[in-house]
Structure formats: structure tokens, C-alpha cells
Structure 1
Amino acid sequence: MKRGWVTEKNHWETEFKPLVVIELAKDVNEEAKKWFVKKITDKKKDGGKYKNDTIKDLFMYTKSQRSTQLLMKPLVISEEADNIYVVGASTRRLLLGAEAIGFVKESADGTMRPFLYSNRTDYKNFIGDGEDFLSMAECQFIIKHELDNLRAQDETNIPGYPQAKLYPGKSIVRRMKTSRILIQIFPLHDKEELKRLSFHWYRQIKFAYQPIDKIRHYFGDTIGLYFGFLEYFTLALIPMALIGIPYYFFAWEDYDKYVIFATFNLVWSTVILEVWKRYCSTMTYRWGTLLMKREFEEPRPGFHGVLGINPVTGKKEPTYSSLKRQLRIYLVSVPFVCLSLYFAIYVMMIYFDLENWAIRYDHEQQSTFSSLLLFVPSIIYAVVIEIMNRIYRFAAEFLTNYENHRLESSHQNHLVLKVLVFNIVNCFASLFYIAFVMCDLKLLRQSLATLLITSQILNQFVEALLPYWMQKRQNKQIRNKVKSLKVDTEFSLLEQVHLEKEMDAYLGTFDDYLELFLLFGYVSLFSCVYPLAALLAVLNNVTELYSDALKMCRVFKRPFAEPSASIGVWMLAFETMGIIAVVTNCALLGMSPQVNSMFQDSKLDLFLTVAAIEHALLALKFILAFVIPNKPYDIRIKLARLEFESMEALKQKQLQ
């Protein structure tokens, strides 16, 4: 029998605002379901409620891991969908959770301070009971944090599932996911706020800054930082593009003049990264994440091993031999990566064979068709590169999971390293070969242009347009299915939950940063011989702004907000590419006829001079990185003042 979920439209408004959706397996054991719901909603500890809702009580309570004190209701549409729940929390519970996590908020005097529930009225924008003080994204992160930290106590297994073993301290949500009892947990969209954000973000084409603060407010710091970096990188490319346009049209075949452009390229690739660090620290200070204290990192969900004791925390958790991990890395992962690199180089040589065939054919025919055919090998190779990159990405993820890293940060670092090494070889090896082995700058220009244009078209189609079209078709089918049920179809939450639970999960900013990294490589390495590279990168980034906004708002599930103070390991990747750019541009300078004419008698003198210039520029780069502070002066003063006040408060507490 089909049943309606609620009888009143305002039913939820009088209880709690649904923030997070939990979907259990359709055939989940009833005992396990009741046990899990009780773990989430039970407010009692050892048979009694807390008398005072203080942060100390909450901290001790959540550390006991008996429950999360959240609010939870089933979403009942039909007998086939009884295992969908919506989760929320009271305002007080969320505010206490904000303090426990360590959120940093702006106080009434304009300084950023860790949020304290006891001093809640001292913070800016805290009105009444603080119902609107936290953003919806922050509330959802608090709920996710509580669910992730829901730990087993005395249970040896999940009720009704003897094979789903538990031990004290084991994450219940992680075990339920690995046992296929829990299908997914995802945050709900705020339809009205999303509509307003979409209007200011991508629904109108205009020359203006992105609403970065609004994006961060809705999607969280990690997404906000990505779009902030995307915007900054686009603006940083404009000087290169403006210089490159007249150079391209007035020096089409005059390669002697690229010496000036290469010199500017060297300075540009160094300065923009240092300026970004300062801009990033200013932005994250305003958001509060620059001051957030990092929690002790828990084992990642996929980590497995023999049950043991963590020597730091004293908790029971899986342990895995570092020797076994090293063996897996050096005996499995490294050989596979080397084999993949060899295959990438082999494909590159096939491309050059096709290129030589097209050149010979054009010399023989001298027709319009043969001239157009010169671009075909590069286009085919660009498509093959994109396909190989995506296939290798899946292989890299499998290998990194196989290595069984304990921490998520270590897992991500090894994954990024694998993917970057392959992408650098796969995307740039042919360009290096053309530049420094074939010494054919005309072919280098042609290949770079083809790679840039083809990869941009493919990325926009695969990442945004195709998923958007498929999602639109799927949404139409789901709406028809919901309307066919005998429920109150005016109650939009029903349709919203079913639409969003079928959306693909957003897998993070990895691929987005990777695309920007490759663009930065194309521009910083070889734009001196193809000055329009920066212009093409600007055009790509402008379309990327709109397509990424579209997929975040319309294609993927809303991701959980994650606090971030920087772009993480990607900053190191961009800085490494900047160092490679110095070496590459110096080598291109040494190849230029203008410089060669100065050393006609001795090639050794040419080599030594170029090497000396390269070392001097690298030294200058490191000096600039050292001299230019990563944080502006005012931010450093504010951080020092806060640290001083914290030390004084600690002294006063000890004296008491």
C-alpha cells in the first residue's frame, strides 16, 4: 500500500529543518535499522539525560560515542522506499557542535575568534537564539562530523549482520558503508538560496567577479577556494594574453623576438604564485579557516588491517605493516607507473610517424585538403591523450587504494603524485621532443595550439554539457515517477530528495585543479613560441567558470562543506611546474637564433651562459619566495595578537 509521508506542508517546519539524507539498503535488517536510528537520535547516556547542555557535557558525550543527539525522521513514500531518512538538529545542538569542531567566527569588534557557545552573543550577526548564525553548509558539516564520529562501544558486530564486525572505537558509518548496509549520505540543497546563487553566478553573462563569498557560504571553503583560484588564475593570465596578441600578429615567423616574451614568462610564472599565497591567506582569514585548529586525523574509511592499538591515542584501530605498504608501492605501483609512461611515449612516437606521413603527403599534393590534413595527427593525438589520462586516473586510484594508506592526506598525496607524473609525460613529452630533439619551433607552435583547443573542447563537453543533458533526462523520469505515487505532490521535499539521491556524487576538486595545472604548464612552458596560449587559456577559464558553476548547481549532488585554509598539495605542484618553466624557457632562449648569433665560435660558452642564467633565475625565484611573506602584514599582526591573547587567557586559567 502506498502511503503519504506527511499530512501537512508545514509539518517539518514545526519539527526541524531537514539537512542531510541517509539512504539504507532496501533489504536492510529491521534490527540493524532500529539500532542505527537509536545511535543517531538517542539523547541518553547510561540511562539518563544530561542536566546541562554545556560544551563540556557535549564533548564528553560525543567522545563516549553512544549517540549523536541528532533529529531523524523516515521519508515514507511507499513500501519500497521506507529506508530513506532525513536528519537535522536543534539550533543549540548545532551551535555546541560548532564549538566542538572549532569554527572561527567574526566577533563584534571585527576580529576572528574561535566560537564559544557561552559567549555566543559577542559574535557578529548572532541574533536571537542564533538560528541563522550558522550557514546551512556549516550545519550539514557538523552533522556529517557527528555521523562520521559515531563509534562502536561494546558491540562486536552490527545487529543482524554477524559478518559486519565491530570493535571499540570503530566508525559505525564506515562499517555500514563497507558492508553495503548504508547506501549513501548526502546534504540537501536549499532550493531558494541555490536559485539566488545561480542567478548571481552563472545565469547572467557579465564581466564581473564571481560571488566567491556566496559560493563559499553555500558550498564550503574547499569549493570556494577552487573558484577563487580559478578566478585569480584567469585574471593573472590576462597580462600574458595582452602581450601575446600583438606579439603573435606582428612576429608570426620572427622567432628571434621570443626572447623578450620568454623573459617576461619567467617573471610572470614566479610572481603570480607568490601573490596567490597572500590573497589566499587574506581570504581564508576572513572565512575563519586560517585559524581553525586541525583535529587529530583519523584513519581513512578504506584503510584495513589487523586490529591493534594506536600508540598515540591508545585507541583500538586497524594496523598495517609499513613494510608491506612499501613493498606494494615499489613492487607494484612504481613498475605500473613506469610501464604506463613507456606506453605514453610509445603512443607519442606513433603520433610523430603520423605527423611525418602528413607532412610528406602535403609536400607531394600541395592542395587545400593536404594542408588541412596536417592538423589531423595533432587532433587525434590530443583526443588519445585525454582518453589515456582518464583511463590512467582509474588505474591510479585502484593502485593507491591497494597501497592501503592509513591517512586520507597520505592517500591523496600518493594519488596526486601518480596522476601528475603521468599527465606531465603524456601531455608535455611530445612538446619537449619537438622543441629540444626535433628543434622544430613551427611544429611546436602548431602542436601546442591543437592540444590546447582540442583538450578544452573535450573537457567542456565531457565534464559539463554531457552530464547536464543526461541529468536533465533523468530528472524528467524521476518527476514522472513521483507524480505517479499517491502522495501530496505539492510537498516539494519529496521530489527534491528523490531527484538529488539519483544525482552523481561530486568527487571533489581533483580533476578541476588538474585541468588548471595542465593549462598553467602549457602557458608557462611554451607560450613564448605560441603567445596565443595565454589567450586560449583565458577563454577556457571563462567558459570553465560557467560550466563548473552549472555542474555544481544542476548536475551533481551538493557536496559536504569541508574547511580548508589553502589549495593544499596543488600549491606544491604549481610551484614545481614553475621551476620546470624556468629551465624550459632558458633552454628555449639558448636555442633562439638571436642568442646563438652571440656565441658563434663556442657552443660550450653558450651552454655555460644559459646554465648560469638558469641558475640565477632559479635563485631569484627562491629568494622572491622567501622575501615575499605568504601572509600580509595585517594578517600576521592579527594572528600574533590572537595567539598572545590565548596565552594570556591560559595563564589566567592556571592561576585560578
Structure 2
Amino acid sequence: MDSLLKIPPSTPIIRPSIQTPGPYQETCNDKYVVKYNFADLDPEEATEELKTLLTDLEEAGLQTEVRAGYDETLLIFVKAPRELLGNTVYKSRVKDWLYGVVHDHPGGTKNTVVDAHYESEDILSVYHLVHWSKEHGGAGIHPGIGQWKNVEAIFPLHNQRANQKLLSHLSKRFFLTAEDLDKIRDIWGSKIAFYFAFLQTYLVFLIFPAVTGVVAWLALPKYSLVYAITTCVWCTVFVEYWKLREVDLSIRWRVRNVAQVKTNRPQFTWERVVTDCAGRKHYFFPKWKQVVRQLLQFPFFGIATAALGLLIVSVFAIEVLISESYEGPYKFYLEYLPTVLLAVALPYITSSLEGVASALTQYENHRTEDNHERALAQKVFVLNIVTNYLPILLTAFVYVPFGDDVVPWLEVLIGKVLGKVLGQQQFAKRPFQADGDRLRNEVIALVVTGQISGFFEENVVPFVRHRFSGWWREMRRLRHSRDGRGADLMSLFDDDPDEAAFLTRVRDQSMLRDYDVQEDIAEIVLQSGYLALFSPVWPLIPLGFLVNNWIELRSDFLKISIEHKRPHPVRTDGIGPWVYSLNMLSWLGSISTAAIVHMFSTSGWGPARWASLPITIFVGEHVFLLFRTLLCFLLNQLGSPQIREERSRLYATRLQRLEELEANKRNGLGLTAAERERRRSMRATGGDKLFTRQVEEGVSAAVGVDLIRRFKEAAESKKKK
């Protein structure tokens, strides 16, 4: 903090262009906060960089004011004046109309100022003014990129009053209505609202497999074919219904095909700029180069899969050896301890691999943020399949059918290592017999442990970390006050009494993590994969998911409100590439479910069982494909209220336009009688130059009369002769 005290108190740094404290405390829709960290800069360099930052913001028409933040940071409050904000909202609507996102022109002129329909529409416009490049009318502030590497973050302010009101409302409802989702969209934008809509739809659909799962667990035999078929049908119906629901909501929120208006990512590099016939600039990067770069993901997946597979196989082997051969104390706890530890460690391992995947995706050089997220999501999905489903697949298709050959070899290999730790006498030499219940126990251990650890990782750990960091800052401040440095530190926070509470909240928000909705969507997609692939193993899986997701729906809203910075209200028209992941999981589920029921529904592992397995998989897969095709046809025929309403609205718009043309035609567009006659003649002639010349000169009648006179004179002259 000492370096801040050395910065000359020149007027260009603290610019009192925002009236405080009222606007800060009363409104959140017209403000953003830029967090600037100067810890690694000397005072002169920090001063010049800060002046440049403020100048760029003000050149975009924004008002700025600077306050001290925690540690060696500054908080730059940015406000969009009423005229600028309203005009930016209007231009955004016009752009949506130009690119076909909406079909009705908003009216007005280029200087029109309008009010936003909801809060996040205003905040999105402020985000554009701060984040977009100068070419597009913004300040071009990109945190951590280029000249703004010392800008830690830009974020809007939480509307605590609206958050608390909506949280109180949601806590009283078992299911969310479309109006509740509208309110979430109004606060956080369509991208976050689509996640809650997806989670809500999934939660409603879970009721059916939860009920049938309890019935199957109580009344049906293990690995029931009836329950397996019912669950496969449910998974297919859920995926296809969500596709329709996604389109429905995108029309309702007026964001369908909104990807057409997305600008370039600041990290995107292009080779040349092409201008089309409409004057639009297209930034071109060769597609073949991007495809070549994308090929690097295949060796990455190969290495990651091999490494993760080796780790999972090792844990699996240790667990099998303990459960089948170990006869020492605490066997009940040691038997599934490796799987529990693996389930706890996998999120951290996956996070490290996702960092590599993110670097590869960055190297692929995607133009828009949507394309970048789509490519990254595909890599994360593949990693999740390997880390979460491989242990169960090994148990189902390696341990149980081939355990007689594999486990004795593992006893010799691993028993030597663990025998030194636990004692050779603890390992009994007895004939191996595969445990048919092990697959179910494996699924229970991974699913339950994963849900519990995920809840603590998402909700408890961030809350404790945030509380601890606040306690640590306060302890450090008290320690500095005792050694004489506290006075200098506190002088930086000499806040106006009317601003103090508000500024403390903003400083706390600046220390929170950014919220990434893709992580939460990936969690739900992964959860649905357990249900699609392994539901016959343990029919109570959907019941546990139903309880977990009901809590998740409320805790996620609280998590975003308290544990994260307010997310940018970015617009999307769905959950992005995760729809394709759901499609793939439902297809894989038809194969996995058919194989599991075929292999485990009856005892015995004879050659006939293996010989008929490909036939079972083939039939199950093709029945699934046929059912999905028929379901898609039926749902498309039924449509949805929003789709039908949009079609009716488009028809009404075209009909109104046609009537206007007919009216203009009847009224002659206000032309004189002579002009209407001339245009009628022009249309009749089809543009022939001879007729056009006579019509324009207005001599048709005179020429005819003259020709008659001349013919008569010629006839009289001939008679006289």
C-alpha cells in the first residue's frame, strides 16, 4: 500500500464525475467496476497507466470515479450517462433486427434514447461500452490481456435488494414457472437463466424415474429389463423436449440466433480483413489452419486418457485386491476407501487437465466467445467421461466377467507392495469368486461421494475461503495498526460516512471469484450421464439426484449472489454445446444399458452369453434411434406456444406490410393524375424506348391527329389526280 501513497495526488486520477453516494446505493443498472492492481508497478508507471485507463473510459462517453480497494488495488467506478446508455440499448436492438435476431424494427433514429425492458439489458450495454473495442464504440478494456494485464477484473454490482427478494420468492416454490425464469433473466441475463431453466426442466423430469426407480428397487428383480427400457425412453424424451424448450425460451427472451451479433474475442488474431457488399468487415483466419490446430487435441486426449486410465486402474486393482483377498482389520472401511479417495481427487485432477484443454482451445484461435466455449466444452466433456465413467465400465466389463483371470495376477503384483505395509498374513490365499454386487457398490460409492464432495466444493469451501480471507485482512490491519503502519493504511479507506457501507460491499465483491456457468451445466450433464448409462445397476440413483437438484436449484442462486462476482449478462440462445453431449449420452446409454442388462440380469458367463451380446447391443441401439426419430417428428409437429406465436406474429407482420403496399398502390403514393397516368403507361409498355419517349413527351394524341390529317390530304390529292 505504500506505493499508492507515493502517487502524486493529481486531479486526473481522482475524477469526481459521479455524484455519491446516492447513485451507488440506489441503482446498479448503469454502473461497472474496474479493478486495477498496481502491486508490481512503480508509482510513475502506475500513474501513467491509470491515466490511460481513465482516458479510454471517458473517450467512450463514460464517467469515472476512483476509490481505494483492498491490498494494492484501485476500484474505478464507471457510470454510463442516461443519454449514452439509452442510445446504446437502442442501437443494440437495431443490430438485433439487422441480423435477424428479432423481426420487428424498434423504430426511431440513430440518436433515439430508450429505456431498457429489464435491468440486465442496461448492464449488458454498459458491459459493451467498457469491454468492446474502440472500433465498436467501447473503451476496449480486456482484463489481463495486452496493455490491460494489470486490470484484474471488470464486473457489475450485485443488486442485493433484487437478489434477496427473488431468493425469498424462490425458497417458497417447489418448481419454478416461466415468470420466475424471466425474473432471473432480468437480473443476470439469458445465459444464466438458461442454466436455471435447464436445471428446472431436468428436476421436473426426474420425478418419473425417481418413482419408477423406487418401484423397481422394491418389486422388480435386479437389472430389470422393464426399468432399463423405461429409463432409456425417459432419457430420450427429456433430451428432445429440452431442445424444444430451448427454442421456446430463446423466442420468449428474444435471443434466438443471437450468436450472429457476437463480436470478435480480444484474443482472436486474423490474417486479413474482407469487406462484403454491405460494407461489413469480416476478420478472416484460414479454416484449414484452425482444423490443423484442433488436431492437437487427439494426442492430448490419448495421453490424458492413458494417464487417467492408469490411475483409475491402479485404484481399482487395489480395491479389488483388498475386497477379495484382504482379511485384516478395518476391511469394511478399506474396501471402498480407494474409490472414495479417487472420487474426491478426480475434480482436482480434472481441473488440471481442463487447464491444458483451455490452453489448447486458446491456441485454436476461435473468433467468438461462443465458438471458444463450444470447443472447450467438447474437451471437458470427453475428460469427464474418462474420469467419471471409466471405473464403472471397468467393473462391469472387466472385473466381473474376467475376474478369474485378472485378480490372481493382481494378487501377486500388488500383494507384494501392500503386504509390506499391512503384513503378508493379512492376505488370504483362497480361490477367487467375482462379487456380482460389486458393480452396484461401485456406482453407489462414486455417485454418492461425487454428489457430497461436489456440494462441499461448490458451496461450503468457497464460503469458508471468503470468510477466512476477510478475517485474515482484518487481522493484518490490526497487526499493522499496532506497529505504526495502520494509520497510513486506514487513511486510504477514509470513506465518506454515507459511502462507507456501500464501498465495503464493493471491496468484498471485488475479492470474489468469477462465476462460470459452464461448470454447473457440465455437472448436470455428467449427472444425467450416470442415469442414462447405469440406471439399471441401482434404481435409486434418480431419487438421490432429485433431492440433490432441488437443493442445488436454490443453493446455486445463493451461491451466485454471495460467493461470486455478479456475472456479465451475456446473451445466448441455449446451453450451447451441452445439447450435443446430452444427445451422445442418451445414445451411449442405449448401448450401455442393453449390455448391462444382458450380462447381469441372469447368472452365468457362458460362450452363448458373449456371442449374443453384440446382437443385443445392435437391437437396443437401433430401437433407440428409431424411437428418437419418431419422437422428434411428433414434437416438431406439436411445436410449442412460443413457436406458434412467432409464426403467427411473422404472418401478421407480412400481412400488414402487404396491406400497406396495396394501400400505397391504391392511393398512388400521393402522385398527381398525370404522373399516375404516365407510370401506368410505363408499366404497360414494359420499358420500350419508343413508347417511353412518346409517353414522356405527351405527344401520342398529337401524332395520331397529324397522321390522320396527312392520310386524308394524301387521299384527296390522289382523287384529284
Scaled by the length of structure 1, the TM-score of the pair is 0.78
Aligned: 1:504 with 2:513: yes
Match of 2:583 in 1: 575
Q: Give the Cα separation in 1 of the matches to 2:47 and 2:381.
A: 46
Distance 1:632 1:98, change over 3 A: farther
Give matches, 1:291-440, under 5 Å. Answer: 293-304=258-269, 308-310=272-274, 312=276, 320-330=285-295, 332-362=296-326, 364=327, 369-437=330-398, 438-439=400-401
> CA offsets per residue over residues 258-309 of structure 1, 9 Å max, x none?
111101111111111222233333333333323x654444321222355x32
1:186 alignment partner AA: F
Q: Give the Cα separation in 1 of the matches to 2:337 and 2:213.
A: 26
> CA offsets per residue over residues 546-567 of structure 1, 9 Å max, x none?
3322220101100111222211
Match of 1:59 in 2: none
Distance 1:464 1:104, change over 3 A: farther
Aligned: 1:634 with 2:641: yes
Give matches, 1:182-581, under 5 Å. Answer: 182-201=151-170, 204=171, 207-209=174-176, 211-250=180-219, 254-255=221-222, 258-290=224-256, 293-304=258-269, 308-310=272-274, 312=276, 320-330=285-295, 332-362=296-326, 364=327, 369-437=330-398, 438-439=400-401, 441-475=436-470, 485-491=493-499, 492-506=501-515, 508-581=516-589
Single out whichever of 491-500 and 87-96 deviates more from structure 2: 87-96
* Contact 1:170–1:317 (Cα < 8 Å) also in 2: no
> CA offsets per residue over residues 344-399 of structure 1, 9 Å max, x none?
1111221232122112345x45x7x3233322232123223333212211111122
What is the DSSP-based 3-state SS (H/G/I as helix, E as strand, rest coil) of the residue aligned with 1:300? coil
1:449 alignment partner AA: I
Distance 1:299 1:631, change over 3 A: farther
The alpha-carbon deviation at position 233 of structure 1 amounts to 1.0
Q: Give the Cα separation in 1 of the matches to 2:261 and 2:536.
A: 46
Q: Give the Cα separation in 2 of the matches to 1:212 and 1:175.
A: 30
Q: Give the Cα separation in 1 of the matches to 2:212 and 2:263.
A: 49
Distance 1:279 1:293, change over 3 A: closer
* Structure richer in helix, relative to its length: 2
2:130 alignment partner AA: L
Aligned: 1:89 with 2:80: yes
Distance 1:86 1:596, change over 3 A: same
Match of 1:62 in 2: none
Q: Give the Cα separation in 1 of the matches to 2:641 and 2:163.
A: 34
* Contact 1:299–1:406 (Cα < 8 Å) also in 2: yes
The alpha-carbon deviation at position 514 of structure 1 amounts to 1.2
* Contact 1:19–1:86 (Cα < 8 Å) also in 2: yes
1:178 alignment partner AA: G
Match of 1:142 in 2: 125
* Contact 2:440–2:537 (Cα < 8 Å) also in 1: yes
Single out whichever of 492-501 and 213-222 deviates more from structure 2: 492-501
> CA offsets per residue over residues 596-627 of structure 1, 9 Å max, x none?
99x99797566435523431222112221233
Distance 1:219 1:104, change over 3 A: farther
> CA offsets per residue over residues 423-454 of structure 1, 9 Å max, x none?
11221122122222334652111111000111
Match of 2:89 in 1: 98
Q: Give the Cα separation in 1 of the matches to 2:376 and 2:192.
A: 20
- 28, 33, 53: which is aligned to 1:21? 33
What is the DSSP-based 3-state SS (H/G/I as helix, E as strand, rest coil) of the residue aligned with 2:134? coil
For structure 1, the residue ranges without an aligned partner over 5 or more in a row are 43-66, 106-111, 120-128, 154-168
What is the DSSP-based 3-state SS (H/G/I as helix, E as strand, rest coil) of the residue aligned with 2:503? helix
For structure 2, the residue ranges without an aligned partner over 5 or more in a row are 97-101, 402-434, 478-488, 670-721
Scaled by the length of structure 2, the TM-score of the pair is 0.72
2:35 alignment partner AA: E
The alpha-carbon deviation at position 573 of structure 1 amounts to 0.7
Q: Give the Cα separation in 2 of the matches to 1:595 and 1:79.
A: 66
Distance 1:279 1:199, change over 3 A: same
The alpha-carbon deviation at position 338 of structure 1 amounts to 0.5
Q: Give the Cα separation in 2 of the matches to 1:334 and 1:78.
A: 44
> CA offsets per residue over residues 439-482 of structure 1, 9 Å max, x none?
46521111110001111121111122111122123345668979
Q: Larger C-alpha radius of gyration, 1 or 2? A: 2
Match of 1:172 in 2: 140
The alpha-carbon deviation at position 93 of structure 1 amounts to 3.4
What is the DSSP-based 3-state SS (H/G/I as helix, E as strand, rest coil) of the residue aligned with 2:64? strand
Single out whichever of 277-286 and 531-540 deviates more from structure 2: 277-286
Q: Give the Cα separation in 2 of the matches to 1:595 and 1:99.
A: 69
What is the DSSP-based 3-state SS (H/G/I as helix, E as strand, rest coil) of the residue aligned with 1:422? helix
Over the residues paired in the alignment, what is the CA RMSD in angstroms? 3.9
Q: Give the Cα separation in 1 of the matches to 2:52 and 2:589.
A: 58
Match of 2:712 in 1: none
Aligned: 1:608 with 2:615: yes
The alpha-carbon deviation at position 512 of structure 1 amounts to 0.7
Distance 1:590 1:550, change over 3 A: same
> CA offsets per residue over residues 172-212 of structure 1, 9 Å max, x none?
324984222543211111222222223234xx576453743
2:517 alignment partner AA: T
Q: Give the Cα separation in 2 of the matches to 1:512 and 1:282.
A: 22
What is the DSSP-based 3-state SS (H/G/I as helix, E as strand, rest coil) of the residue aligned with 1:140? helix
Match of 1:57 in 2: none
* Contact 1:198–1:553 (Cα < 8 Å) also in 2: no
* Contact 2:36–2:150 (Cα < 8 Å) also in 1: yes
Q: Give the Cα separation in 1 of the matches to 2:190 and 2:75.
A: 28
Give identity over the alignment, percent: 22
Q: Give the Cα separation in 1 of the matches to 2:29 and 2:235.
A: 47
1:137 alignment partner AA: S
Distance 1:15 1:396, change over 3 A: closer
Match of 1:165 in 2: none
Single out whichever of 575-584 and 608-617 deviates more from structure 2: 608-617
* Contact 1:24–1:181 (Cα < 8 Å) also in 2: yes
